[in-house]
Amino acid sequence: MAGKKHSSLDKVLGRLDQLDEANLHNLVQRLVRERAVLEAVFNTLQEGVLVIDAAGVIEYANEAAAGLIGLKDPAAGETLWRLVPGLRDSLETGTADTPVVTREFELAYPLRRVVRLYMVPFGDAPGAARRQAIILSDITAEKESTAELIENEKISSILLLAAGVAHELGNPLNSLTIHLQLIDRKLMKLKASKETRSLEDSIKVCRDEVTRLDGIIKNFLEAIRPRPPNLTEVHLPEVIGEVLSFQQKELEDRGITVDGELPAGTPVIMADRDQLKQVFFNLIKNAMEAMPPGGRLSLKVRTDDDSVYVAMADTGSGIKAEDLAKLFQPYHTTKVSGHGLGLMIVQRILRDHGGHVGIESKEGVGTVVTLQFPQKHRRVRMLAGG
């Protein structure tokens, strides 16, 4: 049976009592150098490495571990259980029979992080209390990516279902259109009278409503289809002006005043013009429905070196604090007749354009929606950088 291999250092340590003062000095210097090399290696690791005794006192921590758990001085005899409260209860420590332990937990200090822990005992005396080697991995980004993937899949499923329902609504609308045409033809054969004219008016109202519903369905399908944006140079104030012009009649009917700062010199962005129109249409519609007659809608476009911002402020009823966190969830709505997809669609379009949407609101005061779009030169750098 092959014996254990020993390093030259092991051999030297084996005859330590035979070394003179000079050799002892050289040995100490060698040990110091080797310790420094090992510490340098451990400090290059992204994973945190800890060694604790049976009581949880930290005997060693590399820089990554110290940063994760907020340890300022590894030599000060800090206890892991004090730095990470609640961790001890979920770990079995202290004897040679302790199994390898893996856990995931959340740290709130010094930064909010999700951490995966791997702990294994080590020592030489069988059955005696051992020290524990612990590896800590920051898996925050991994968890966030997984959560985002699940959310995107959920949204895609909902949008697919909604698109299917909207598409199916087209069949009865087509049937209504055909039957209205048949009724209209029969009326034309009847002798004109007050009653026939009244029926003709009613048929026209029905036709107009069918046409309106058909337009709503087409717009809805266009809005929720997860197609990539067709990027072209777009001047945001121009798009906003077009949407306001389209909604002008409804704004006037509601007695809502619109003011804003839409500088002509605003830098262009790379965007899908039709998708941006859908964004502003949804947001202005939301603002209108949140305000009583006589309300005010203010729009302001500003820029910095990399982005173009659009702020839309209304004087509406505001949003309750408990509802703010749920605004972008599918089918969550505070309106009696709302479908809860508008803001989700806005968020998806902004995300596809490399932008962001933020909402601030105070109940009884109003709401401010801020959209951030990357400028053309920034978008090019983003795409070039992968």
Show the domains of the chain with their CATH numbers: 19-138 (3.30.450.20), 144-224 (1.10.287), 232-384 (3.30.565.10)
Q: What is the pLDDT of residue 379?
A: 53
pLDDT band at 100 (very low <50, low <70, confident <90, very high): confident
- Residue-wise pLDDT tens digits, 227-282: 788 889 999 999 999 999 888 888 998 999 999 888 888 988 999 998 899 899 98
Cα(216)–Cα(221) distance, rounded to whole angstroms? 9
Whole-prediction pTM value? 0.46
pLDDT digits (tens, 9 = 90+) for 179-209: 888 888 888 887 777 787 888 888 888 888 8
pLDDT digits over 123-175, tens only? 655 655 678 888 898 888 777 777 666 666 766 676 677 667 776 777 788 88
In three state form, how does the secondary structure of the chain look? CCCCCCCHHHHHHHCHHHCCHHHHHHHHHHHHHHHHHHHHHHHCCCCEEEEECCCCEEEEECHHHHHHHCCCCHHHCCEHHHHCCCCHHHCCCCCCCCCCEEEEEEECCCCCEEEEEEEEEECCCCCCCCEEEEEEEECHHHHHHHHHHHHHHHHHHHHHHHHHHHHHHHHHHHHHHHHHHHHHHHHHHCCCCHHHHHHHHHHHHHHHHHHHHHHHHHHHHHHHCCCCCCCEEECHHHHHHHHHHHHHHHHHHCCCEEEEECCCCCCCEEECHHHHHHHHHHHHHHHHHHCCCCCEEEEEEEECCCEEEEEEEECCCCCCHHHHCCCCCCCCCCCCCCCCCHHHHHHHHHHHCCCEEEEEEECCCEEEEEEEEEEHHHHHHHHHCC
* Predicted pLDDT at 237: 93
Indicate whether 353 pLDDT > 80: yes
Q: Name the packing angle between helices 273-290 and 194-224 (round to 10°).
A: 120
Between residues 3 and 325, the one the model is more confident about: 325
**Least confident piece of the model among 7-21, 59-73, 350-364:** 7-21
- Whether residue 176 has pLDDT greater than 50: yes
28-42, 211-225, 365-379: which range is least confident on average? 211-225
Is the predicted pLDDT of residue 65 greater than 80, yes or no? yes
Please report, as a single letter, which amino acid is at residue 233: E
The residue ranking higher by pLDDT, 94 or 213, is 213
The percent of residues above 70 in pLDDT, for the chain, comes to 74
Average pLDDT score over the chain: 77
Residue 119's closest CA among 106, 137, 140, 143? 137
